[in-house]
Amino acid sequence: MDVIRVAPEVLAAMREHAGRAYPEECCGVLVGRAREDGVRDVVRIVPVENTRPDERRRRYLIGPDTVRDAEAEAARAGLDVVGFYHSHPDHPAEPSEFDRSHAWPWYDYLIVPVAADAAGEPRAWRLDDDRAAFRETHLEPGRDAAVPTGEPGTGDTEHAGRTGKRAERAEHDGSTTGTETPTGEHEARTKEADA
């Protein structure tokens, strides 16, 4: 089973972001290290604004510039964008068919269930290479976290080159630009999903 390690303070920051955004979906970037044995260590998150123009209660959009900026900042720190997170307002922390059909393999997707009174415990998922189904990723407490401060879009990010994966996902999405995202109505490097 694949493992993703996330420090308790990072999980708390995700839940807080989900509560703030309720009843709309929140979204953000997971930054850390990807080990060869399949373990991912998330050391920080980058909360970003849901820029979806409609259906924000069921979908989210991370704009292309935001994803590119997160990747570049992470690369400068020797880390990687290892996935994305979003909330499911008034729904369980399970990926929808829309999530599956628009996700990229390799990345982890943390989903935070949230209701009017509180955010629940996130669950983690990774899409199979054939894109047929998500597998739940074992979520463990991590350490060495650095939680950004401030509003969405102002957090620190870190990244370690995933150039090969970027090329693979561009081919997968039928583009020659290498800038598509794991989900949504594919504009250049856009990340979007649905509850």
Condensed to tens digits (0 to 9), the pLDDT of residues 61-101 reads 888 899 999 999 999 999 999 999 999 999 999 999 989 98
Beta bridge partners of 5: 41, 140
Among 83, 106, 125, 85, CA closest to 169:
106
Amino acid at position 186, single letter: H
Domain ranges of the chain: 3-194
Question: Is the domain covering 3-194 a CATH 3.40.190.10 domain?
Answer: no
Which long-range contacts (C-beta less than 8 Å, at least 24 apart) are formed by 121-129?
A: 121/11, 121/93, 122/6, 122/11, 122/14, 122/15, 122/85, 122/93, 123/93, 123/94, 124/4, 124/6, 124/83, 125/94, 125/95, 126/2, 127/100, 127/103, 127/182, 129/105
Reply yes or no on whether the pLDDT at 162 is more than 80. no
Q: Identify the pLDDT of residue 64.
A: 84
* Distances from the Cα of 37 to the Cα of 4, 6, 41, angstroms: 11, 16, 12
Q: pTM of the full predicted structure?
A: 0.77
Q: Identify the pLDDT of residue 193.
A: 54
Reply yes or no on whether the pLDDT at 142 is more than 60. yes
Residue 93, token pair as written in the block = 């922390």
Mean per-residue pLDDT, 103-122: 95
Q: Count the alpha carbons within 13 Å of 161 in the hemisphere toward its beta carbon.
A: 3
Q: Which range is least confidently modeled, 6-20, 62-76, 171-185?
A: 171-185
Look at 168 and 39; give whichever has higher pLDDT.
39
Q: Identify the pLDDT of residue 102.
A: 81
Q: Identify the pLDDT of residue 173.
A: 32
Reply yes or no on whether the pLDDT at 185 is more than 90. no
Predicted confidence (pLDDT) per residue in 24-69, tens digit: 999 999 999 999 998 999 999 999 999 999 999 999 988 889 999 9
In whole angstroms, what is the distance from residue 56 CA to residue 170 CA? 26
In whole angstroms, what is the distance from residue 121 CA to residue 117 CA? 13
Look at 171 and 86; give whichever has higher pLDDT.
86
Number of H helices, E strands in the chain: 4, 9
Beta bridge partners of 59: 194
Catalytic sites, residue numbers: 25
Mean per-residue pLDDT, 170-174: 30
Beta bridge partners of 140: 5
Q: Identify the pLDDT of residue 146.
A: 52
Amino acid at position 48, single letter: V
